[in-house]
Structure 1
Amino acid sequence: MRYYVLDRGDPLSVELSQTFHKLAAEQGLELDAKSPDIVVSIGGDGTMLHAFHTFIDQISSIAFVGIHTGHLGFYADWKADEIPELVQMMSGHSDPGLLRPRIVRYPLIELELQKKSGASSHICLNEFTLKGVDGTVVAQVDINDQMFEMFRGDGICVSTPSGSTAYNKSLGGAMIHPTIEALQITEIASINNRVFRTLGSPLVLPKHHHCDIYSRKEQNLLLTIDHVNLPMNDMVSVRCQVSDRKISFVRYRPFPFWNRVRNAFLD
């Protein structure tokens, strides 16, 4: 099996990465930076986002697994002291009586960005946000080519189900099980008074729906795709919908989503 490790870069993560390589070599795993079968993320959820975007052109053939070095992350199944067990399972040398690994696939969001200077396509794992740099965002929101609302406020967050526990949750959005093929639109400090009206509630759109956000004034905007910032002063529109592509995670043991939620927010 071919693998690659991407770590957060702090001393602990670097040390764990070196430990992983040593154990992997002993178990006959092959280090491959170009076309690995499994990408191991050592750090936090931000490290997993970085790993995802590093291998975004190969996500149809790669599975990811996370080792967390701090608080339990939603994308990490393993603790630092469990690396020997993980390497054994990856090599196939673990107890034959254990459950066989399985692949889980989570939906992504695809964006079609239109600017006066050109068009581009993007994929996000957690969410994308559109915010004003020096003032209120004014944007028309269409759903399935029908005008829905004229938004005024600090911005708009569009999240995947797996990203619903991140920024979306802090905005009052719902947590959605990551196997559900949907996207969630959540307003950021919308203006609601006698003059300006928005829905004020998060929206969940199924896979076969799409949303278009049109800039409706000359404005400096910041589009953030996961951890990547794209400043813009010439945005025309952005179309978002559930992508046909998915990210794959390899599960060597059960770790239900709602257990992750409980561990993160309630324990």
Structure 2
Amino acid sequence: MSDRKNIFFYYLNSDGLKNKLDALYQLAESNGFTIVSDSDNANIIVSIGGDGAFLQAVRKTGFRQDCLYTGITRSGESGLYCDFNLDNFDEMLDTILHEEMEVRRFPVIHADVNGETNFYCLNEISVRSTIIKSIVMDVFIDDIHFETFRGDGLIVATPTGSTGYNKSTNGAVIDPRIPCFQVSELASINNNRYRTLGSSFVLHNDRKLQLSVQQDGNDYPIIGLDNEAYSIRNIKDVTVTLSDKVIKTVKLKNNSYWDRVKRTFL
């Protein structure tokens, strides 16, 4: 992989991190890499700081399809997207330079809001009420009405995002090799008058999900995109599909997705 020589580091400033980064820079440069200050010039984008930093790095750099992403955790941090730690950064460089790399390809979901604004998400998109009142959404699958949801909101997660917000609502953990996305409920109302499926459901990658928001007071629902939140006025509908985009990351040997799930949760 000798053509992959330009590295961009994404991180949030914190006490003590600058000194550690100086050592990383020196180590990278001594191995023939070039540190760039503009992510557009990089073919390797490295996030420092766990899964939150990794998600931000992907979003802030535009879900690049022509580069590799990799995540580095700090002491005491863990991450399902991050194979490396600050203490084994040299192992990452050695993998890129000298070994036949295994590259993971993580699926991305695409969201179209009101037919006007487009977003991509690596983890999940959520639509939630911002007032003390249930949000009402008609749920369509491939343009066919499925249910009318009443509750706090809905989460649509990628397979890798299934271990995040989705899992906290008792959604299933999905193998990222399965091309699909998952829909999970937030505090749905189920009684003699109102009824939803009451469980998560999984859609194949060629399905289209549409959430049509009823304008009954929830005029400013929160749209959660990975770990960022947007308030968009008068959201009428959100259409979600699995994108053709994938995020490519460097994979260490003997460190599968399920190895990381086990370390994180069991």
Q: Normalised by the size of structure 1, how large is the TM-score?
A: 0.92
The CA deviation string for residues 221-256 of structure 1, in whole angstroms up to 9 with x for no partner, is: 000111221113301100001001111101243311
More strand by share: 1
Residue 36 of structure 2 corresponds to residue 39 of structure 1? no
CA contact (8 A) 2:71 2:81 kept: yes
Amino acid at match of 2:241: Q
Aligned residue pair count = 256
Please point out which of 133, 156, 159 is paired with 1:158. Answer: 156
The 2-side partners of 1:238 and 1:27 are apart by: 46
Please point out which of 26, 37, 45 is paired with 1:22. Answer: 26
Q: Give the equivalent residue in structure 1 for 2:15.
A: 11
- The percent of aligned pairs where both chains have the same amino acid is 31
Q: Give the equivalent residue in structure 1 for 2:124.
A: 127
Quote the offset at 1:145 in angstroms.
0.4
Query: Using a 3 Å threshold, how does the CA distance of structure 1 residues 12 and 77 change in structure 2: closer, same or farther?
Result: farther
Structure 1 segment 22-101 matched on structure 2, within 5 A = 22-32=26-36, 33=38, 34-56=40-62, 59-69=64-74, 70-90=76-96, 92=97, 94=98, 99-101=99-101
Q: Give the equivalent residue in structure 2 for 1:248.
A: 248
CA contact (8 A) 2:215 2:234 kept: no
CA contact (8 A) 2:46 2:69 kept: yes
Unaligned runs of 5+ in 2: none
The 2-side partners of 1:37 and 1:119 are apart by: 31
The 1-side partners of 2:208 and 2:179 are apart by: 13
CA contact (8 A) 1:103 1:249 kept: yes
The CA deviation string for residues 176-232 of structure 1, in whole angstroms up to 9 with x for no partner, is: 011221100000000000011000110100111010000112313000111221113
Quote the offset at 1:54 in angstroms.
1.5
The 2-side partners of 1:102 and 1:35 are apart by: 23
SS at match of 2:152: strand
The 2-side partners of 1:159 and 1:14 are apart by: 34
Q: Give the equivalent residue in structure 2 for 1:223.
A: 223
CA contact (8 A) 1:100 1:252 kept: no
CA contact (8 A) 2:104 2:250 kept: yes
Query: What is the root-mean-square deviation in Å for CA atoms of aligned residues?
Result: 1.4
Quote the offset at 1:18 in angstroms.
2.1
The 2-side partners of 1:198 and 1:14 are apart by: 50
The 2-side partners of 1:257 and 1:28 are apart by: 30
CA contact (8 A) 1:13 1:42 kept: no
Q: Give the equivalent residue in structure 1 for 2:177.
A: 179
The CA deviation string for residues 78-101 of structure 1, in whole angstroms up to 9 with x for no partner, is: 1221112223333x2x5xxxx511
Query: Using a 3 Å threshold, how does the CA distance of structure 1 residues 7 and 22 change in structure 2: closer, same or farther?
Result: same
Amino acid at match of 1:29: F
Q: Normalised by the size of structure 2, how large is the TM-score?
A: 0.92
Quote the offset at 1:14 in angstroms.
3.3
